[in-house]
Structure 1
Amino acid sequence: MDIYTTSILISVLIYLFVGSYAGKKVKHLDDYFVVGRKAPTILIVGTLVASVLSTNAFLGETGFSYASQGGSYILWPATWVAGYIFGALFFGRYLRRSRVLTVAEFFGHRFNSKAVRRAAGITVVLGLGGYLLAVTQGTAVILTNLTPLNYEQALIASWFCYTFFTLYSGSRGVIITDTIMFLLFTIMSFVAFYYIIDLHGGWLTAFEGLINLESKPDLMSWHGQVGAGTEWQTPADYAIWSLITGIAWGLVTAVSPWQSSRYLMAKSEHVVVRSACIAAIVIAVSNLVLFAAATAVNLSKDDIFPFEQTMIYAAMNMMPAIVGGLLLAGIMAAALSSSTTFLSLVGFSVSNDIIPSKQKSPEQADDKTLLRFSRIVMLVVSVVTLLISFVTVVDIFWLSNYVGTVFASSWGPIAFMSIWSKSITERGAYWGIISGFVGNIIPRFLDVSGIIDLPSYLNPILVGCIISLITIIVVSRLGQVSDIEKQRRLELHQMPTEEQSKIQTKKTQWAGIAVIIFGLLLSTMLMIYYVYPYQKGTGTLLNNGNLDWFSAEALLALGWAAIYVPLGILTYRIVNRSYTANPKVNTDSETSIEGEGSNA
């Protein structure tokens, strides 16, 4: 057994042990679904990052960056991670306040409707079921490349790994193992970047080589490679696609079930806001490091195929064996963490929102009954996913982007309107979910099948969002908001007294300050280490040798500050206004927050 297989095997055994240990502490349904609502910031950050950085990030997107979009993937501001902050401020903390078990249950409770709850639950199954399929197969690809296992054997092995401790420990095991995995693959991303860049003489030397790479012209430009043989015919097509996709994924990180549901586990609303800000920074920086490292692999080998294996090649050929082994263990961790999250959420939605158990019993017995029912459902979901994996081969990058963004169309409008709109009705919410889902899926299918050819500005994500929003407005106007719907929306805006702590508020405001610093620092570094060397290397500096501040590369680099500085200021002000407005605010150091967590 070589070092690569050994590293992966040891890491998997650790996850299985931790999951098994965590499962022993699961006694009630709250433990299984939302960890008793006691999770601190580090665990929420860990599960937010681990559940979104899956095989798509480490295999699909790094491969895409390596193949054709190195510059664009590094330069374009990460609009999508801004969704964490916006989502936490305007949806996530209210979701946590509702004290439900799933996001679909939140919608059902908010609109007093089993139909809305069931519709949201079905979209979870269809959407995350497809995502689970993608990461299951991605994990199998990793194992096939690194072990003697063939693809079918690797599918079974990966399936068993994530099913075992997810089935037993639920969210309690998932959130702990997610955090361990998050720490591993985040650290190894930076280590991999160091070794790959150092191998090619440091960043500036490697960057110059990438600019002049004859086999892939425009690799480091703001739009990457476009034209014949690519997905985009012109730079404008790529710009439109990137903007729409970024906004769509921003909605996904703000409201999608595998992201917003993490806030239900937080021990306070302060943890929700802090975790969102930290996760946004960590994911943005990790992605930049990963994309830069993957793109630089071109300097050693520029014809890796399939390109999803770029980081696997780098781990086995461009760094010491032990480091490569740990990197592969980190990639495996990213795949498993997403698998456990998706499996748990699909299982929870089926058992809690679509076909909840009908058995009546005393409280403790009912908890045991529901736990057993949830585990059975989760096992069935897992087995079905495995069977589909055997007969379907998917493109990890594109399936993840197609399936993931379904929630932008289906859930985006209803999520924010459920908090902020006085006019949305139960029927409007129901048909908004369905129309957004169908309005995304059908155009996407027709486009991918070649039946129609949609221009970039008619991206199915945008089409679905618009259809959902129009449907909600029109259907809501045909009905009337019930008294109980009005009351439940008002209840969401009632600040729990235990959240009002000046000391906790000041700590949370520092998260907003960190976002401001992040935006300024990243724009500065990109100008120094990307834009100026790029213009110098391509001969596009001004005649006097100064930087052209109005080039696309410069404007995109400055875009990071333009997005994150206002977001940080917004966070700071909203936190201050929300949690210190009451003159009777509790100033005791940790009492209010700790008390809320322990009483949950």
Structure 2
Amino acid sequence: MTTTIFFLVLAVYVIAGGIVARFVKSKADFYVMGEKGTTILIVGTLAATYLSAVTLLGISGQSYAEGPLVIAALGSFGAWIGTLLAVIYIGRKMRAFGCHTMPDFFEMRFKNKTVSIIALIIMIIGLLGYGVIQLIGAGLVLSEVTGISFPIMIVLFTLALLVFCALGGMYGVVITDTLMLFTMLAISCIIAPFLIGQAGFDNMKALGESIPFYWTIGGAEQRPLGWSISQFLVWVLFFSCTPALVSRVFPAKNDFVILKAAVIGVFLAPFMQIIVFLAAGSMQIHQPGIENTDNVMVIGFIEHVPPLLGGIGLAGLMASIMSTASTLFVLAGFALARDLYEHLNNKKMDEKQSLRVGRYAQVLVAALVCVIAIIQPSAIYWISIYAGAIFGVGWLPTVVGGLEWKRMNSRAAIGSMTIGTLTFILVDELARREIITLPEQIDSLMIAFSIGVVTLVVIGFCTRPNDYELSFFKKMKQTSFADTTISEFLAKEDGLARLKKQYRQTMAISIAFIFIAAIIWGYFFLMLGF
């Protein structure tokens, strides 16, 4: 049944990707879905990034071993703050300036090839490193479960990704992400609650007696509060500037779609993760003593839920891999085709040529990823250590400085991105090799981020922006996010009434999800005795 469901779900995604590809007629369709994304589609592609293979494997394993609150208490809520910043602040602003990719912002803001190249290098390393390591880890688990050899599993994933990445571009990713979200929601809404219910809240509460400190923020390892706070900050920094989230705003139909997607997305970020972490904790009741904790949820899917739910759970794991991988790889392809080949080389191409280059870049990225994943080189694990954090230290100070500071210029951007990224790698390597010892409450990402910010401010005060940088900053400050949306609505028949209706809908959704969140988290607080 597991293998059958696996192939059925894979077939659904491939067929959907093939159908969606027929709607791609221009490079605007390919890169930003022609800005036709509705609320459900933007929520779908946004939320599909939350339940990654890292969540279902590594962090769930930590929740099983140390306690669900170690990451859930502050880390997941750092994720929703980061998501809010990514969508409402950074993504919404970049979309208002006409960006189709995040590197567009660096090019528009500074008009400096060195800045653009450094930003592209950070993006490609970060996306490929994080994506490939997910593919390798989850591919190993699923190949063991399904009986399909690891190389064949990776090739299947790659071919499926090619269908909706190379042919459909952002159109394909958004549509298939939304389909995948329903499979992933089955884990958070049905399978994880089933595991929690079978274990029983009383038995789960009693784990604090057999495993001391299991239901504390410090967990069974008694991590200091400072460590938990550092994880909160790390998740905020990582989520707020990762292209996987920010780029989700660019296909949105209008500003109301962005606001509604942000409200729902802020709710789904902790919801989709924390329920899984609690279910991982419940596995201490179902099957204590699991040594390879990364497989905790997979064991739960196979051995502790009905076969149909188990098959859906594994399909959800597969969907989480494909959703994250497709997003990361399509953005890497965009960086190669649009930002590097077309823009930096000043290539003048018509619509068909641009589409062709974009698709060739997707094929190149897919082939590269497939080969790296099959070879499983140790170097990719080294890269993956930095992939998740590199956007927080390499991009975030420059992006915020570029958006808000009049003195921001290309030299400050180059210094901040370079020194911040290199500092993170250096400090992390020294700590990993035990040459230096960091306090538990201070993460290497926080150190690098602080140094990146200081570097930016010092260089910014010691240098001056050029005329172009000053004029673009002035243009940014005069740009209103909502002007385009308001103009579009007012141009229609009964435009004012439609505009008011959208405002009421957005407010109603906000209030409704605050109410839903209060009920859900209140229920778990009461049942677990917090």
User: Normalization by structure 2: what TM-score?
Assistant: 0.90
Calculate percent identity across the aligned residue pairs: 25
Structure 1 residue 80: deviation in Å?
Answer: 2.1
Question: Residue 219 of structure 2 aligns to a residue in which SS?
Answer: coil
- Structure 1 position 382, deviation (Å): 2.2
Cα 1:352/1:459, change in 2 over 3 Å = same
TM alignment of 1:158-557, pairs within 5 A: 158-200=157-199, 202=200, 204-212=201-209, 214=210, 216-226=211-221, 235-236=223-224, 239-356=225-342, 358=345, 366-392=350-376, 402-493=386-477, 494-495=479-480, 496-500=482-486, 501-514=499-512, 516-517=514-515, 520-521=518-519, 524-532=522-530
**Are the counterparts in 2 of residues 92 and 254 from structure 1 also a CA contact under 8 Å?**
no
Contact 1:56-1:396 within 8 A present in 2 as well: no
Distance 1:30 1:340 in 2: 18
Question: What displacement does 1:417 show?
Answer: 2.0
Secondary structure, in 3 states, of the residue corresponding to 1:298? helix
For the 8 Å contact 1:139–1:155, the answer to whether it is kept is no
Amino acid at match of 1:271: V
Structure 1 residue 168 displacement after superposition: 1.5
CA contact (8 A) 2:397 2:453 kept: yes
CA–CA distance in 2 between the matches of 1:419 and 1:410?
A: 15
Contact kept in structure 1, 2:128 and 2:328, CA below 8 Å = yes
1:115-134 mapped onto 2 (5 Å cutoff) = 115-134=114-133
Q: Letter of the aligned partner of 1:70 in structure 2? A: P
Residues 51, 272 of structure 2: 8 Å contact kept: no
Instruction: Go from structure 1 to structure 2 and tell me whether the alpha carbon gap of 1:276 and 1:458 turns closer, same or farther (over 3 Å shift).
Output: same
Tell me how far apart the structure 2 counterparts of residues 426 and 247 of structure 1 sit (CA, whole Å). Answer: 27
C-alpha RMSD of matched pairs (Å): 2.4
Q: Structure 2 vs 1, CA of residues 244 and 393 (structure 1 numbering), >3 Å: closer, same or farther?
A: farther
Which position in structure 2 is the counterpart of 1:138? 137
Amino acid at match of 1:370: S
SS at match of 2:250: helix
1:4 pairs with one of 2, 5, 17: 2
CA distance in 2: counterparts of 1:129 and 1:385, whole angstroms: 7
User: C-alpha distance in 1, partners of 2:223/2:460?
Assistant: 40
Alignment partner for residue 36 of structure 1, among 34, 37, 43?
A: 34
Indicate the larger mover: 9-18 or 270-279.
270-279
| Distance of aligned partners of 1:95 and 1:387 in 2 relative to their CA distance in 1, 3 Å threshold | same
Q: What secondary structure, in the 3-state scheme, does the structure 1 residue paired with 2:438 have?
A: coil
The offset of 1:344, in angstroms, is 0.4
- Cα deviations across residues 176-215 of structure 1 (Å, max 9, x unaligned)? 0001101111123221123212322x3x223234223x3x
Distance in 2 separating the partners of 1:272 and 1:248? 24
Indicate yes or no: 2:19 matched with 1:21: yes
The one-letter code matched in structure 1 to 2:368 is: V
**Equivalent residue for 2:84?**
85
Is the Cα contact below 8 Å between 1:217 and 1:225 reproduced in 2? yes
Structure 2 residue identity aligned to 1:460? S
Against the structure 1 CA distance between its residues 11 and 101, is the aligned structure 2 distance closer, same or farther, given a 3 Å change threshold? Answer: same
Question: Is 1:63–1:309's contact at 8 Å kept on the other side of the alignment?
Answer: yes
| Per-residue CA distance 1:335-374 (angstroms, 9 max, x = gap) | 110010010011111222233375856xxx6222122222
Q: 1:529 to 1:209 in 2, by over 3 A?
A: same
Q: Which residue of 2 aligns with 1:562?
A: none
Distance 2:374 2:79 in 1: 32
Instruction: Work out the CA distance in 1 between the residues paired with 2:45 and 2:316.
Output: 15
Q: Contact 1:85–1:273 (CA<8 Å) still a contact in 2?
A: no
Q: Give 3-state SS (helix, strand or coil) of 1:435's partner.
A: helix
Check conservation: 1:249, 1:408, Cα contact below 8 A: no
Q: Which residue of 1 aligns with 2:492?
A: none
Q: Tell me the secondary structure at the aligned position of residue 67 of structure 2.
A: helix
**AA in 2 matched with 1:185:** M
1:166 positional shift: 1.2
- Per-residue deviation, 1:247: 1.7
**Whole-angstrom CA distance in 2 between matches of 1:276 and 1:255:** 15
Listed one character per residue, the Cα deviations across residues 134-176 of structure 1 (whole Å, up to 9, x for unaligned) are 1211331232122222323322232322233212211100000
Deviation by residue 1:431-457 (Cα, 9 ceiling, x = unmatched): 222222222222112222333322234
Q: 1:300, CA displacement in angstroms?
A: 1.8
Task: Report the alpha carbon displacement of residue 516 of structure 1 after superposing the two structures with TM.
Answer: 4.5
How many residue pairs align between the two structures?
A: 514
User: For each residue in 1:365-388, what CA deviation from the matched residue of structure 2 results, as whole angstroms up to 9, or x when unmatched?
Assistant: 622212222222222222222222
SS of the aligned residue for 2:6 comes to helix
Query: Which AA in structure 2 matches 1:187?
Result: A
Of 328-337 and 517-526, more deviation after overlay is shown by 517-526
Q: C-alpha separation between the residues in 2 aligned to 1:306 and 1:134?
A: 18
Aligned residues of 1:80 and 1:247 also touching (Cα < 8 A): no
Tell me the SS of whatever aligns to 2:89. helix
Is the 2:136–2:376 Cα contact (8 Å) retained in structure 1? no
Give 3-state SS (helix, strand or coil) of 1:222's partner.
coil
Q: More displaced, 153-162 or 465-474?
A: 153-162
Read off the aligned partner of 1:114 and give its amino acid letter: K
Using the alignment, how far apart are the partners of 2:528 and 2:66 within structure 1?
17
Shift of 1:522: 5.6
| CA distance in 2: counterparts of 1:328 and 1:293, whole angstroms | 15
Structure 2 residue runs of 5 or longer lacking an equivalent are: 487-498
| One-letter identity of the residue aligned with 1:325 | G
- Structure 2: how far apart are the matches of 1:211 and 1:360? 63
Contact 1:92 1:272 in 2 (8 A): no
Shift of 1:399: 7.5
Q: Deviations over 1:213-243 (max 9, x none)?
A: x3x43222221121xxxxxxx532xx32322
* Aligned mates of 1:477, 1:160 — CA distance in 2: 50
**Aligned residues of 1:135 and 1:396 also touching (Cα < 8 A):** no
Contact 1:56 1:400 (C-alpha < 8 Å) held by counterparts:
no
Alpha-carbon distance in structure 2 between the residues aligned to 1:176 and 1:504? 23
Aligned residue type for 1:508: T
Q: Which deviates further from its counterpart, 254-263 or 400-409?
A: 400-409
Structure 1 stretches lacking a partner, 5+ long: 227-233, 533-600
Q: Which letter maps to 1:89?
A: I
Quick check: 2:128–2:369 contact (8 Å CA) kept in 1?
yes
Q: For 2:205 and 2:49, how far apart are their aligned partners in 1?
A: 35
